Amino acid sequence: MKKITFTVLTFLAAGSVNAFAAETFSLSSADIQNHRLTEQQVFAGFGCHGDNTSPQLGWHNPPAGTKSFAITVYDPSAPTGSGWWHWTVVNIPVKTQTLPTGAGDEKSPTLPDGAVQGRNDYGYAGFGGACPPVGDKPHPYQFTVWALSTDKLPIDSNASGALVGYMLNSNVIAKASFTATYGR
């Protein structure tokens, strides 16, 4: 009897997990395959020779109560003592659930109205691609979409990654992430 009960409970729990997984807040990219960045997403400078183009990003099933989104790209393995902010963009309207390839250009015409890019650790507002030191093992680049409880954060194009991170953590409902790697 216990074995049958356990089996039934396991089946019911598995069904619940599958139903929950179908509704999970998620982030993906058509431009990033097998969790590896390509030359398209590599920085053009600092000894790197990439296209410095932000990837397409799409997110699904945001939680109830979401009023806006933000995107961050962060390398926790950068040899700085504090990681490296590659991209921050906030105040993405709730009706937007995708950013096209190249949206992170410094003067992108494809960002939604009202969206604001903060200053990356290369020193400008926009996407700054991967550029780990030669010989390091591949670095992890964390792409995150943040579902926020406010429609607007008081961020401008001079805001550092640390300031953006503080504001995001103060207003987050949920976040979805994936990690891609790159080494040279």
Cβ atoms 145, 73 nearer than 8 A: no
Mean pLDDT of 8-22: 42
pLDDT tens-digit readout, 129-150: 999 999 999 999 999 999 999 9
pLDDT greater than 80 at residue 44: yes
Quote the number of domains for the chain: 1
**Looking at residue 4, what is its pLDDT?**
36
CB 56 within 8 A of CB 98: yes
- A 10 A CB-CB count for 48 gives 17
Q: Is residue 176 part of a domain?
A: yes
In this prediction, residue 18 carries a pLDDT of 45
For the segment 23-28, the average pLDDT, to the nearest whole number, is 95
| Bridge partners for 181 per DSSP | 36, 140
Is residue 172 one of the residues assigned to a domain? yes
- The whole-angstrom separation of Cα 60 and Cα 178 is 13
User: Would you say residue 15 lies in a domain?
Assistant: no
- Distance in angstroms (rounded) separating the CA atoms of residues 112 and 91: 9
Q: Is residue 107 part of a domain?
A: yes
142 in a domain, yes or no?
yes
Per the domain annotation, does 147 fall within a domain?
yes
Higher pLDDT, 151 or 22: 151
Range of the domain at 94: 24-182
Return the CATH number at 152.
Answer: 3.90.280.10
Q: Average pLDDT for residues 50-55, to the nearest whole number?
A: 98
